[in-house]
A and B are shown apart, each in its own frame.
Chain A
Amino acid sequence: MKKVDILMAGVGGQGTILASNILAEVGLELGYDVKKSEVHGMAQRGGTVESHVRWGEKVYAPLVEQGHADYLIGFEMLETARWPGYLKEGTVVIINRYRIPPPAVNLGKAKYPSEQEIEALLKGAGGRVIWIEGTGIAGELGNPAMVGVVLLGALSNLLGGEEETWLKVIQRLVPEKFLELNKKAFLSGKALQVA
């Protein structure tokens, strides 16, 4: 049984927690030992959020170790750029093409890095970078907050597991009235057929 270490990075309020919950439950469904960690609290007030999900035969720490991530899922461009230390040769980076400028950028006191800079940073650390219009796709479906489920759809192409397994877990974790939309969001992400 292979080990799968996944990191998610985003901004408070973007839905990283739901996405990491889905990912953890899918791991359990697929027969892995699973651990997951994230920090709530201050971070919710528009700050940086990170989530670690680990699948394996036997997982000890709930934290992905530096230089060991197999996947980095970036909900926001700048937040994705903070994690090169966790990448290794061949880490798959799925990055949502979406910016939420932090206060210093709004105030004109700092510069938001360009797509080229971010890509270079991640590639330099060994990342294989895949850009996705996750927020755009979720927005077209009716709610940009479903970006996490779109990203999971894309990721599911690489992680495997039956489509039904993923949808079953989504059904369990998403409130009834948003279920159909979330299923659509997942399938739209999956249809991107990232490889």
Chain B
Amino acid sequence: MKKMMTGNEAVAYGAYLNGVRVGAAYPGTPSTEIMDNFSRYPGVYAEWAPNEKVALDVGIGAAYTGARALVSMKHVGINVAADSLFYSVYTGLKGGLVLVSSDDPGMHSSQNEQDNRNYAKFAKLPMLEPSDSEEAKQFMGIALEMSETFDTPVMLRTVTRISHSSTPVEISNEEPPAAPPEPPLYERDAVKFVMVPANARRRHPIVEERIKKLAEYAENTPINRIEPGDDTIGIIAAGSVYQYAREVFPEATFLKLGMVYPLPAKLLHQFASQVKTVVVIEELDPFFEDQIRLMGIETRGKDIFPIIGEFSPALIRERSVSAGLISTPAAGAEVAAAAATATELPIRPPILCPGCGHRGMFHVFRESGALVLGDIGCYTLGYAPPLSGMHTSGCMGASIGVAHGIDKAVVKDRTIAVIGDSTFFHSGIHPLIDALYNESTVTVVIADNSVTAMTGHQQHPGTGITLQKKNTRAINPEQVVRSLGFEKVDICDPYDLNGLAQTLEDHLESGKPSVIIARRPCVLYTKAKSAAPQIDPELCVNCGTCLELGCSPLMQKEDCVTIDPVLCNGCGLCVQVCPAGAIIKQ
């Protein structure tokens, strides 16, 4: 029987089928649904760790015992977990460990489009890349086995179009292997697992030897295969790009790589000798191309296809026509260009939801005139006009350290660092320690909507609920910061604009490092809704002040503003900012 599954669902299913018993992750688009789905299978343990490094250490620990483990994260999560990735390649493991990296070419929901295939080469471990959901399921099994055979973690790379595309998956009737009846005793082997220099020096040759053996394995694995066809053009591709290229070159000879590192040199030479022109089609970096060139194989690649952005069948067709590889012209492009010039359509950027607590906070920030050093989450949307309440945002956890650095470099501006609650637990605590230890004057605002909202409402250490829906201790940010030694700590409701503004002013002028917790649970999550306020058209002077909140139910009409009662959640911010008293709370 076949079932439609997203790549993420299939990765989770493959892990379950192959006896993975421990899973750990931190949410991040497009990876989030992997652990979400895995956590619902019977007999497994799965958690949201506070960040990706912790998640990977959890997976490594489980695999050290001989259990199979799954760790998943978005591409930038691997940066956070990189230190653990590198040591685990040296120590090896006992049970299979698969680390899923979900990359985001095109940056649908990310701050960069780094190509994580580079990590496989950098950290010296094998990487597989599925091209649809059926492969995602199967490659999980292959990766786990490879991990155990070669005593190494294995990376599985997906991209947004694999993670979030649904394709048919064969459903198995077999039961996953059962857990051992008795808990095993941990096998202690300090020389293998304690990476002091003396031991690490012994391990490094093993790592080098292992990657050579894996390159041998890559020559014969069925997941690297030549698909014979017309010999004029031989295309090398992997993952989603393989599918796009198949669409554009139905007749060509293909080398489809399921294992993207290490590469099979002999197979590549054999392939090159079978075709007249070799063409590598790969999104982002020339990862295959550079290595293939070093093998002495002549190939085309980035001279034709871009290094930036997401590919599509249309893009591959257009570039291939320009390069003279095919003659069928791409359709639609002219029509699109003509239509675009004919009518300019207003864009529809993502915005803070009606009733979002972050909105009041950014309104107050803007009014304060302070410099706001930001972080990543829904609240990053507060940077955009009309709120315009944030001035930097680089990666998760950056806000407080950047604010502290600006403080030490001395600028005239007063500084606020703003960080979400999930981000606070992810990577906000260490920079707070720095702010105290090295005597910053920054005012830190924790934008606490009591959930990880941006990625679809995951639990986190502050919510009191685990991924597998168990009640647990809720770690309170206020207690955390007080225990660190912050003396000036206040909790405010960002719906109360005056209250928050006064507290903020007090903190900014205090000359001390301090923390404000701006707490208002996410309305999209709680579904809280109060009646929409009414606008008195007699009083409304149509000045547009309320529109500066950037709240979608507020619409400017000919002679007054109106509120769409269906969209409005009744937060009352517009009532507070209206200078004419024309908006009346119901």
Could you tell me which A residues sit within 8 Å of B by CB distance? 11-12, 21, 24-25, 28, 33-48, 60-63, 65-68, 78-79, 81-82, 84-88, 101-108, 110-113, 117, 120-121, 124-126
From B4, B166, B347, name the one whose CB has the most chain A CB atoms within 10 angstroms.
B166
B312 at the interface (CB under 8 A from A): yes
B259 at the interface (CB under 8 A from A): no
- B312–A85 CB distance below 8 A: no
Give chain A residues whose Cβ lies under 8 Å from the Cβ of B119.
none
Partner of B339, one of A43, A44, A124: A124
Q: List 30 A-B contacts (CB under 8 A).
A: A11-B348, A21-B4, A34-B4, A36-B4, A39-B164, A41-B29, A41-B30, A42-B109, A45-B350, A45-B351, A45-B352, A45-B381, A46-B351, A47-B348, A65-B312, A65-B317, A66-B331, A66-B333, A67-B330, A78-B346, A82-B345, A85-B335, A85-B336, A85-B337, A103-B552, A106-B552, A107-B386, A111-B346, A113-B345, A124-B338
Partner of A63, one of B161, B168, B339: B161
Alpha-carbon gap, A120 to B4, bound state (A): 37
Give chain A residues whose Cβ lies under 8 Å from the Cβ of B544.
107-108
Least distance between B167 CB and chain A CB atoms (Å)? 5
B410 at the interface (CB under 8 A from A): no
- A103–B317 CB distance below 8 A: no
Could you tell me which B residues sit within 8 Å of A by CB distance? 2, 4, 29-30, 108-109, 132, 160-161, 164-168, 240, 243-244, 246-247, 312-314, 317, 330-333, 335-339, 342-343, 345-353, 378, 381, 386, 454-456, 544, 547, 550, 552, 554-556
Known: A45-B353, A86-B332. A61 touches B243 (CB 8 A): yes
Give chain A residues whose Cβ lies under 8 Å from the Cβ of B347.
102, 104
Least distance between B247 CB and chain A CB atoms (Å)? 5
Alpha-carbon gap, A117 to B554, bound state (A): 25
Least distance between B13 CB and chain A CB atoms (Å)? 17
Give the residue name and chain of the B residue nearest to A78 (CB): B345
Give the residue name and chain of the B residue nearest to A40 (CB): B164
Alpha-carbon gap, A41 to B30, bound state (A): 8
From B330, B378, B552, name the one whose CB has the most chain A CB atoms within 10 angstroms.
B552
Give chain A residues whose Cβ lies under 8 Å from the Cβ of B352.
45
Alpha-carbon gap, A21 to B378, bound state (A): 26
Alpha-carbon gap, A103 to B567, bound state (A): 13
Closest 10 CB pairs of A and B: A67-B331, A85-B336, A67-B332, A66-B332, A41-B109, A110-B346, A45-B350, A47-B350, A62-B165, A41-B29
Partner of A39, one of B160, B333, B454: B160
- B552–A68 CB distance below 8 A: no
Known: A45-B352, A88-B332. A102 touches B378 (CB 8 A): no
Alpha-carbon gap, A40 to B74, bound state (A): 14
Partner of B244, one of A39, A40, A63, A124: A63
Partner of A121, one of B167, B343, B386, B552: B343
Alpha-carbon gap, A62 to B550, bound state (A): 35
- A46–B4 CB distance below 8 A: no
Alpha-carbon gap, A40 to B381, bound state (A): 16
From A38, A45, A102, A125, name the one whose CB has the most chain B CB atoms within 10 angstroms.
A45
